[in-house]
Amino acid sequence: MELVKLKPGVKDYIWGGTYFKKFNKGTSLDRVSECWELSVRDNDSSIIASGKDEGKRLVDVLTKEDIGPVMDRFPYFPLLIKLIDAKENLSVQVHPSDDYALKYEQSFGKSEMWHIISADEDSGLYVGLNRNYTKEEIERALKEGTILECLNFYKVKPGDTFIINPGTIHAIGAGVRLIEIQQNSNLTYRLYDYNRVDKDGNPRELHIKKALDVIDYHQYKVVKSDNELLADNKYFTVKEVNFDKELEVNANERAFISFTFLEGEGKVNDITYSKYDTFFLPFGKKCLIKGKGKIVISTVR
């Protein structure tokens, strides 16, 4: 497999906006809540948008050799990358660890990170508890509808990064656009959803009992990113890189590389790119970006 440009799967959840509709995401949906830029989940796979396999699902073309030796550590493709546009607040939620998820859900858990693309004035994120709490205190706050009072609210700007480890209560606030790099899992426990109903008028499902089992009840501490390196853990390594004229990207260590353009236009090898396009570079391959812009580069070490 060679370098490919990807077309995302698009979701129209009730809290989403229209920001990404103008960036050639190939959808007629009124809302574009999430663009699943890099996904090999069977029902939501990215589509290859360049080369000899154009039009095929990435999940159907990808091989272990394309992913790289890092597959020795994972029984599944490790990453899921999304662009998210929150017109309204997302639900307050928490993700379990691998240990809990494997025991009770026959699934892996979910670690993730958020990197801010843009944000309306005074908009932000709810991330983690603002002090140490007991399980009973959080359960009471959920019953009383005061859970937001227990959380940190961080006003955000482009370039801010937050690591969301399993057990961290979190919610994306209205007016925030971001890129989310996460463990390849869709396992979420919803604690609170502002008493919203779905398109059929039914209250959205909550998962209080399981959520209370997995919450980290300690005060949250922000993990600061270090210059270009936004995150580096066993699930993902992520960098933001500015470039002018040329940038070589080389997937020759242990795994594939995926990169998403936050700014700019030009060519990757002979494939044109523009803002918010995502590419997949198989293990052992390299490519040359020509142009000027900014990319988020994701891999697994």
CATH number, residue 131: 2.60.120.10
Q: Are residues 197 and 243 in the same domain?
A: no
Q: Are residues 138 and 177 in the same domain?
A: yes
Q: Are residues 120 and 76 in the same domain?
A: yes
Q: Are residues 70 and 151 in the same domain?
A: yes
- Determine contact, residues 215/207, Cβ cutoff 8 Å: no
Q: Are residues 117 and 237 in the same domain?
A: no
Q: Are residues 73 and 222 in the same domain?
A: yes
- Total number of domains constituting the chain: 2
Q: Are residues 193 and 266 in the same domain?
A: no
Q: Is the pLDDT of residue 27 over 90?
A: no
Q: Are residues 24 and 147 in the same domain?
A: yes
Mean pLDDT of 222-229: 80
Quote the DSSP letter at residue 122: T
Among 203, 226, 249, the domain boundary falls at 226
Strands 161-164 and 112-119: antiparallel
Within the chain, residue ranges assigned H as helices are: 58-61, 64-67, 98-104, 135-144, 208-214
142-175 pLDDT, tens digit per residue, is: 999 999 999 999 999 999 999 999 999 999 999 9
**Residue 200 binned pLDDT confidence (cut-offs 50, 70, 90):** confident
How buried is residue 183: exposed, middle or buried, by Cβ count under 10 Å (0-12/13-18/19+)?
Answer: buried
Give the active site residue among 41, 140, 177, 190. Answer: 190
Among 205, 226, 247, the domain boundary falls at 226
**Residue 198 binned pLDDT confidence (cut-offs 50, 70, 90):** confident
Q: Are residues 272 and 221 in the same domain?
A: no
Q: Is the pLDDT of residue 253 over 80?
A: yes
Q: What pLDDT is recorded for position 264?
A: 95
Structural domain for 261, as ranges: 231-299
The per-residue pLDDT of the chain, averaged, comes to: 95
Among 185, 203, 226, the domain boundary falls at 226
Q: Is the pLDDT of residue 75 over 90?
A: no
Q: Where are the beta strands (DSSP E) in the chain?
A: 4-7, 9-11, 34-38, 47-48, 79-86, 92-94, 112-119, 124-129, 151-155, 161-164, 170-172, 176-183, 189-192, 229-232, 237-250, 257-268, 271-273, 278-281, 286-299
Q: Are residues 81 and 167 in the same domain?
A: yes
How buried is residue 213: exposed, middle or buried, by Cβ count under 10 Å (0-12/13-18/19+)?
Answer: middle
**Can you tell me which residue has the tokens 């390594």?**
237
Q: Are residues 33 and 155 in the same domain?
A: yes
Strands 34-38 and 47-48: unpaired
Measure the CA–CA gap between 147 and 25, rounded to whole angstroms. 35
190 in catalytic set: yes
Highest mean pLDDT among 8-17, 191-200, 219-228 belongs to 8-17
Q: Are residues 214 and 269 in the same domain?
A: no
